[in-house]
Amino acid sequence: MPQVPRIAASQPDRLLLVDDEEIVCKTLTLIFESNGYEVRQAHSAADALPQLDDWIPDLALVDVCLPKMNGAELARRILIRNPNCRVLLISARPESGDIVNELTTRGYRFDLVAKPVPPRVLLEWARSGLVNEHAGES
């Protein structure tokens, strides 16, 4: 199915939220929706990728430690499908930096924030307009 383009700038920003912890997804969805964002959730990369077939997110908030495919690899795939998407990686595990650094060697740069992340910080990121650097391989 073809991707549905955004029709008007007045539409709310679209956020893809990917975390394997259901309570994290529910809480962050509530926070972002109450601040005017259209949110879709996924609890794994396998759940997230098919959503990109017919829905283009402006933002993606992705946990690094996901089952089967890690969040950094998912972020790379999101950018291949939608180079304009802004991605923020989050993690509670110190080893996540190594996963993100591996993609840096391939030309991608993602910001990584340690959990728990205060909602104010996430909303500031979403509103900031910062764009990922990604000149890496596909």
Tens-digit pLDDT profile for residues 12-68: 799 999 999 999 999 999 999 999 999 999 999 999 999 999 999 999 999 999 999
Domains of the chain: total: 1
> Which pLDDT does position 7 carry in this prediction?
41
Which domain does 83 fall in, by range?
14-130
Are 37 and 13 contacting, i.e. CB atoms less than 8 angstroms apart? yes
Decide: 59 and 15 in contact? Cβ < 8 Å: yes
Structure tokens, 52: 């990109």
**Domain assignment of residue 3, yes or no:** no
Q: For the domain that residue 55 is a member of, what is the CATH number? A: 3.40.50.2300
Confirm whether 6 is domain-assigned: no
| pTM over the 0.85 mark | no
> Torsion over CA of 93, 95, 99 and 105, rounded to 10 degrees?
130
Residue 4 lies in a domain: no
pLDDT of residue 111: 78
Contact call for residues 24 and 61 (beta carbons, < 8 A):
no
**pLDDT digit string (tens) for 71-98?**
989 999 999 999 989 999 998 876 666 6
> Which amino acid is residue 57, in one-letter code?
P
